[in-house]
Amino acid sequence: MKRATKPKNRPANVPEENTYPKLHWTIVVALIGAAVALYLFVQANG
């Protein structure tokens, strides 16, 4: 397979690489959910 030699045209506001400068809200929800699940597990089995 040959790779394309011509770079793709991107709008000015779209970077070449994906960057995530801020923490996404789903990560926060997942961490809180994991902490609650761990707390409930310890309370039930501790």
Instruction: Read off the tokens for 30.
Output: 């997942």
Question: Is the sign of the CA dihedral 44, 41, 24, 22 positive or negative?
Answer: positive
Task: Per-residue pLDDT tens, the chain, 46 aa: give them.
Answer: 666 667 778 888 888 888 888 999 999 999 999 999 999 999 999 7
pLDDT value of residue 3: 65
Q: Are 10 and 16 in contact (CB under 8 A)?
A: yes
Instruction: Read off the tokens for 44.
Output: 């039930």
* DSSP conformational letter for 16: S
